[in-house]
Amino acid sequence: MTNQLPYTSIPDTSDTIYWEPKSLKNNLRSTTFVPRDRELHQQLRVKAWAVIQASLSKRNKKAKY
């Protein structure tokens, strides 16, 4: 999938270019949002995790995401 916007972080679920709504069968009350570009989403998750880890003290750091 070609990215139309240069994402630097995971956007809110209101961004319909990034997210795709997916309704579950037999559950009309629940909608799940899945990223349209899974590779981009994984890259943004790794970047976000690195930012979180960098902000923590060395003692509080967790294993790699």
- The predicted-structure confidence for 46-65, as pLDDT tens digits, reads as follows 999 998 888 887 666 666 55
Q: Where are the domains of the chain?
A: 1-65
Are 35 and 18 a contacting pair, CB within 8 Å?
A: yes
The sign one gets for the Cα dihedral 2, 13, 54, 58 is negative
Q: H/E element holding 54?
A: helix 38-55
pLDDT at 60: 66
Which letter does DSSP use for residue 65 in this model?
-
How high is the pLDDT of residue 3? 47
Q: How confident is the model at residue 44 (pLDDT cuts 50, 70, 90)?
A: very high
- Mean pLDDT along residues 19-42: 87
